[in-house]
Amino acid sequence: MEPEQAKDRTKALLNVIETMYELRIVNLEEVIEAITGRTQDEAKILTICTALNTWVALNAAPGGEVEIPVEVVNGLAGKIIL
C-alpha cells in the first residue's frame, strides 16, 4: 500500500473508533504517523487499530476527548509487527 493510502486507511479506522465512542482523539495525526511510520501493510494497520479500539474502550470516557499515548501505539505495533 502506498504511504498516503496507508495514512488514509489508518485515519478512516481511527475515525470509526471516534464515532463508536462519540469522542475525539486529540492527537489523531500523531497516532496516524506512529502507525504508518512502522507499517503500511493493510492487515497490520487493521490489527493495530483493532487493538487501539480495545485500549480506548478500557481507558476513555465516551463523549469526551482522549489522547492515545504514542508509547501505547508503539508497544502495540511492536507486538503486531514482528
- For residue 62, the model assigns a pLDDT of 87
Cell of 24: 475525539
- For residue 43, the model assigns a pLDDT of 97
Cell of 23: 469522542
Cell of 1: 500500500
Distance of CA 3 to CAs 8, 49, 63, 64, 65, Å?
Answer: 9, 17, 31, 30, 27
**Domain with 45 in it:** 3-80
Mean pLDDT of the chain: 97
Express each pLDDT in 33-72 by its tens digit.
999 999 999 999 999 999 999 999 999 988 999 999 999 9
* Residue 82 in this model has a pLDDT that exceeds 90: no
Express each pLDDT in 49-58 by its tens digit.
999 999 999 9
Domain total of the chain? 1
Give the separation between CA 74 and CA 48, rounded to whole angstroms. 10
